[in-house]
With several copies, the nearest count.
Chain A
Amino acid sequence: MHKLTIIIENKPYEVEVTPSRATPGDYAVNIDGQLLTVYVPDYDNPELADWMIVDDRPYELLFSQDMRSAQIYSGRYDIQVRDKEAGSVRPASGDGRVKAPIPGMVTRIHVEPGQLVELGQPLLVLEAMKMENEIRSPLAGAVRQLAVKPGQTVTLGELMIEIE
């Protein structure tokens, strides 16, 4: 039995998970007192596991690599897993370092070092896949550092701007 706290879009759930000894891929899950059975058909290949059956209801779903979001039907949810046994809490997301979400070329920069920006304010334009993509501020704060120049090519995850 494994105790977890699962937070979905800011609502916490206390969850106990017990793998079945008899049937591989079967799990008994207790959520705030309610009992569910989860079956993972691809249990022998968990890397592929992109669908599960909960009490006879099949779902195709997708977790992000870091398990911070889940896609199901046509929605996407922020999730957080707190593992009491491992004693670890995954760090809160969203510091002020704005990294390149895709490789591309910085064509325009709308801000300067030291400038105050609002949440959602356009910071720069990144050109990729024949589109101009506006990158906006993740926080309200001041521009601490500009790590790129117009015309510069950036790789995936490369730091572009830091807000503090």
Chain B
Amino acid sequence: MFKKILIANRGEIATRIIRTCREMGILTVALYTSADRDSLHVRLADEVKLLQSPNRYGDADEVLAIAKATGAEAIHPGYGFLAEEAGFAERCAAEGIVFIGPPPSVIRAVRSKMEAMEAVKRAGYRVPLYADLPDVGADEAALQQVAKEVGFPLVVKSARGGRGRGARVVLRADRLLEAVRAARHEAELIYGDDHLYLERVIAPSHYLVVQVLADAHGNVVHLGEREGSLLRHNQKLIEESPSPSLNDTQRSALWTAAIDIARLFNFQNTGAVEFLVDSAGNFHFTEVKARIQIEHGVSEMIASIDIVREQIRIAAGEKLARTQEEIRLDGWAMQCRINAEDPWNDYLPSPGRLTRFRLPQGPDVRVDTYGYVGCAIPERFDPLLANLLVKGDDRAMCVSRLRRALMEFRIVGVQTNLALHKQIVQDPAFIAGNYDTRFMEHFQFDVSANTSREACRDLVAMTAVAYLLRRRVDAPVIPERIKSGWHRSARRLPS
């Protein structure tokens, strides 16, 4: 087993990886930028290196140089940054450093979304109707022609994909050009590659991923499926396992397909085989994510397997800890993605310093976060602040536990989407497990939710006392709240 691993990432995933390394007796080298110096991953690592490059965690040269200087035998890329970069994985191999992820050839094969769909289609599985998009320079007529063949509604996607960024749904031909331009811009910004393709929209649909583990000895197992249909701007807000939308026949067919597809690509390490399930119940393969995902903890909870530990063991050449028969999927798990963003102000990012940060506790509640009281949340990176995970015997218990945990989670200092999550988990369709990818389009965030007439009167009383308390302490003149022009909808209180 490795003695020292470099973690080429930040925030909650870097913290998550350090925990498993420490339990395995492996030393960790963490990276940080000055904006990230407060992050828990810097405090918990054995060794830390301040990044100099403007590319930060994505700078292959600097990351490799640090790995060599510190004597790290392996690099865990987490997600994003250097994950799913075949070139980087090759350079690691050339330097004699183990890249914790699939081999470069596998990364390449699955990274090209269109080639991957083509291969899976040949193997006899359904894939969405798609078409490669002409170059940036191509004229609109050619673009419209391709779109017409695919048919509307369609989605403009980055050929590099990942994390739902850079994807845009287009309902009508006259919106196509604008969407392609914006998607190119965003794809270039996020992935450094503006190659796009068009895909026919399957809607309504369910977004399902099957978590797989594969070792270098030909063993492939799955840890069940996750339902990721609860999306806002292509970002999963809540993910759960098992899926409430499948029957047992569909479920086992999906698992079999995922294992087949993983084998087709000679997949290794951990990944997610992703599908869209249409309203007729047909599943369409969309892509393989060749890395650990933000939502991996959901599968960890129902399978009782530490996926990061398995990743490291696989990378070290070990066999999978359990066979498919030995893996028991048990109970129901959910994850909420808690972002530092303001649900009352069009979800604008909300950097700042955490002055209160009280995690929910109790049985089968888990929070993965890089934050703590006093920690600064930087403005430069993804707003993901914490993953809240809960497990219950069944879905009803899981939902009630999630609701309880959300009520208990206290964050002051930055705005977060906690209030949005609190409202979603009280939505009847969500509670019934009856939702698809269109759920968030219809969901109305209620600015004054859950406040009874009594609570409103109590709020008046507390406001009066708070005002006097603040006067009493003679606080320095409070700066005017920043008044930007973003949208604000307000509802009147019950009166």
Contacts and interface: CB of A to CB of B under 8 A. Distances in A.
B46 A57 contact: yes
A46 interface: yes
B481 A136 contact: no
B349 A136 contact: no
Contact of B47 (A48, A57, A161): A57
Interface string B404-437: 0000001010000011101100000000000000
B493 A136 contact: no
A36 B341 CA distance: 35
Contacts of B460: 6, 8, 13, 15, 31
A115 interface: no
Contacts of B340: 129
A129 B379 contact: yes
Contacts, number: 233
A164 B194 CA distance: 39
Interface string A32-69: 00101010111101111111111111111111111111
Given A38-B462, A72-B451, A131 B493 contact: no
A43 to B, nearest CB: 8
Interface residues of A, number: 91
B460 to A, nearest CB: 5
A79 interface: yes
B459 to A, nearest CB: 6
B487 interface: yes
Which of B189, B349, B462 gathers most chain A CB within 10 Å? B462
Given A8-B460, A163-B485, A130 B190 contact: yes
A150 to B, nearest CB: 12
A53 B48 contact: yes
A131 B450 contact: no
A9 B327 CA distance: 53
Nearest to B235: A131
Contact of B455 (A68, A73, A94, A160): A73
B128 to A, nearest CB: 26
Given A31-B460, A104-B379, A161-B485, A41 B42 contact: yes
A60 to B, nearest CB: 6
A11 B490 CA distance: 13
A64 B481 contact: yes
Interface in B440-464: 446-451, 454-464
B45 interface: yes
B381 A78 contact: no
A83 B138 CA distance: 65
A138 B484 contact: yes
A15 B459 CA distance: 12
Interface in A69-83: 69-79, 81, 83
A64 to B, nearest CB: 6
Nearest to B190: A130
Contacts of B173: none
A81 B463 contact: yes
B448 A61 contact: no
B461 A130 contact: no
Given A65-B478, A74-B423, 19 more contacts: A6-B460, A8-B460, A17-B465, A34-B457, A40-B465, A45-B374, A51-B43, A58-B42, A69-B481, A72-B455, A74-B418, A75-B449, A76-B448, A78-B490, A101-B348, A101-B486, A102-B349, A156-B482, A163-B485
11 contacts: A9-B490, A47-B475, A60-B43, A66-B481, A73-B451, A86-B471, A100-B482, A101-B484, A104-B379, A130-B382, A135-B485
